[in-house]
Amino acid sequence: MHVVLAGGGTAGHIEPALALADALRRQ
């Protein structure tokens, strides 16, 4: 799921995607 959020990008894109998903969950 998180990899899909990252658009299947490199590992450098996965971390920001996880942070974004977490931020959206907190709202």
Match 């969950």 to its residue by tokens.
25
pTM: 0.42
pLDDT digits (tens, 9 = 90+) for 1-27: 455 554 555 555 667 777 888 888 888
CB 4 within 8 A of CB 15: no
pLDDT at 8: 53
How far apart are alpha carbons 12 and 25 in whole angstroms? 21
The two tokens of residue 18 are: 């996880």
How far apart are alpha carbons 13 and 3 in whole angstroms? 9
